[in-house]
Amino acid sequence: GAVVSQHPSWVICKSGTSVKIECRSLDFQATTMFWYRQFPKQSLMLMATSNEGSKATYEQGVEKDKFLINHASLTLSTLTVTSAHPEDSSFYICSAISTSGSYNEQFFGPGTRLTVL
């Protein structure tokens, strides 16, 4: 099946710094990628929809200036957490839609655990 990778798999940073997380579709082109956040023992919450070549669409309550999303190519989307704070510590998961598959099925990356000290 389609493979989605994320880098890094985990990151620890100091409060106030920025962190970039990459999401790549390895063997397919993805015009649309999604970014989710998952807190411990909770479900996935959609943060934003990333479309190649255009601005991301953010869900209500998600600060677009804090969570910068860039979808520069058909295989790469990046999420930058700017001026990170401890409350941003979470598990971030991306997914990508394979336009070649049926019903535009989402394929999920392995996730990135962010810890802000």
89 and 18 in contact (C-beta within 8 Å)?
Answer: no
Size of the site for other proteins (CB under 8 A): 26
Distance in Å, CB of 83 to other proteins, minimum: 26
Residue holding tokens 């997380």? 21
Nearer to other proteins, 76 or 82 (CB): 76
Q: Does 74 bind other proteins (CB under 8 A)?
A: no
Query: Residues 12, 55, 105, 117: which binds other proteins (CB under 8 A)?
Result: 105
Strands of the sheet with 67-73, listed across from one edge: 4-7, 19-25, 76-81, 67-73
Q: Does 30 bind other proteins (CB under 8 A)?
A: no
Query: Residues 44, 62, 68, 74: which binds other proteins (CB under 8 A)?
Result: 44
Query: Residues 29, 49, 82, 115: which binds other proteins (CB under 8 A)?
Result: 49
What phi and psi, each to the nearest 5 degrees, are found at residue 103? 55, 25
d(CA 5, CA 95): 9
d(CA 52, CA 102): 20
Residues of this chain that interact with other proteins (CB under 8 A) are: 1, 4, 6, 32, 34, 41-44, 46, 49, 91, 93, 95, 97, 102-111, 113
